[in-house]
Structure 1
Amino acid sequence: MKRDITTPPSYWYSDSAEDDRGARVMEALRSYRAAEMDMRRRTQTSMSMGENELRVLRHLTRACAAGREVTPIDLARHLGVSTASITALLDRLERSGHLERRRHPSDRRKILVSSTGHADVEMRDTLASMHARMMQATRGMSDSEAEAVTSFLHRMQCAVADVCHSAGTDCCAIATRPASPTTTTRLLPTGAAAPEVAA
């Protein structure tokens, strides 16, 4: 099969038209992921923060908008780190004026964590224009197009997280079909590394 010269060769997929489409989608996902990682690095540099510190502030911002209380234990679970690590991280963010900790009004054993006005303004100034550009990219999509993209991304999230495979279900796939007997699969060359997945 003649492959579009703009599509990089893959040793991971077959020569079927369906896998050719899939390979183009995976390449687009890899390109998006690279651009997103660059954006995250720029944001971290601009705010002089690490990835986990930004994740804490984003989590606190969403929790505040939803009216949810957040404790240090909640944040440790969200990041998948120890309570000692989250305490050190919260200490840094408190010293920089990005969050505050206070006793729970009715349960004095609990500590509540919230972002400060300073953090909210800095996050908005740093990310607002980028979020506006991302939302603009969704303008003009029909309901069916939005549903198709959303459904696809959910399936990819499930596939990358290995949730359905571990559970023995097929939730991340539209259908599981055996390869066509006429399909020629390109095998990974001896000594070659497996291609990077879009994750």
Structure 2
Amino acid sequence: MAKVLVDGYWYERSEGERAREVLEALRVYRAAERAMRRRTQDEMSMGENELLALRFLFRQPQHSARPAALTAYLGISAAATSVLVDRLERSGHVHRDTEAGASVVRATEHADDDVRHTLGRMHELMYAVATGMDAQAQANVTEFLRAMADAVDGVEPADGPAH
């Protein structure tokens, strides 16, 4: 009886080897994404929290949120949020408003233009990769990435230092 060779010249790769290849590809992607974020931060002269704050604001209605929402999203103190908003306001990326007596932080058109200019080409390339996949591959990747996010989110901090 002849063995059907699918994955290799002589021996099939084991399930464990294929899983390691998937995780290695994910690690390589994450490293590339971190490098892209560093380049973006350098180009826009912003720190990671500033970029995260803008991204958060762009996902909100009217591109605005209360400072407390930014504080909770970023996991920083109210004082650190105030300093961050001050920096973004000085750079023209946000402005403060008052709505119904409450302070609101709103992303500016300049922020939208700046982010689109800086990240537009990367988003075009990523979109081209995603649209180049067939529907089943898109569904598989979506399911995989959601399951990986759930797995990572489910990890609790270790009780003590690692040995």
Shorter-chain TM-score tier: 0.7 to 0.9
Measured in 1, the distance between the counterparts of 2:75 and 2:58 equals 19
Q: Deviations over 1:113-139 (max 9, x none)?
A: 111111111111000011000000112
Distance 1:53 1:69, change over 3 A: closer
TM-score by length of 1: 0.69
Q: CA deviation at 1:69?
A: 4.4
2:85 equivalent to 1:90: yes
Greater per-residue helix proportion: 2
Q: Secondary structure at the match of 1:100?
A: strand
Q: Report whether the alignment pairs 1:38 with 2:30.
A: no
What percentage of residue pairs aligned between the two structures are identical? 46
Letter in 2 for 1:121: D
Quote the residue 2:3 is aligned against. Answer: none
**Secondary structure of residue in 1 paired with 2:76:** coil
Structure 1: how far apart are the matches of 2:22 and 2:39? 26
Cα distance in 1 for residues equivalent to 2:114 and 2:46: 12
Pairs aligned (count): 148
1:68: Cα distance to partner?
A: 6.5
Q: Does residue 48 of the first structure (1) align with residue 45 of the second (2)? A: yes
Deviation digits for residues 26-77 of structure 1 (CA, Å, limit 9, x no counterpart)? 100110011000000000000000000000111111214xx47410000111
Question: What amino acid maps onto 1:119 in structure 2?
Answer: A
TM-score normalised according to structure 2 size? 0.84
When the two chains are superposed, the root-mean-square deviation of aligned CA atoms in Å is: 2.2
- Larger relative contact order (CA 8 Å, sep ≥ 6): 1
Write the letter of the residue equivalent to 1:60: L
Shift of residue 142 of structure 1? Answer: 2.1
Q: 1:19 aligns with which of 16, 20, 26?
A: 16
Unaligned 5+ runs, structure 2: 1-7
Q: 1:149 aligns with which of 131, 137, 141?
A: 141
Which of 89, 111, 114 matches 1:119? 111
**Unaligned segments of structure 1, at least 5 residues:** 5-15, 167-192, 195-199
Number of the residue aligned with 1:81: 76
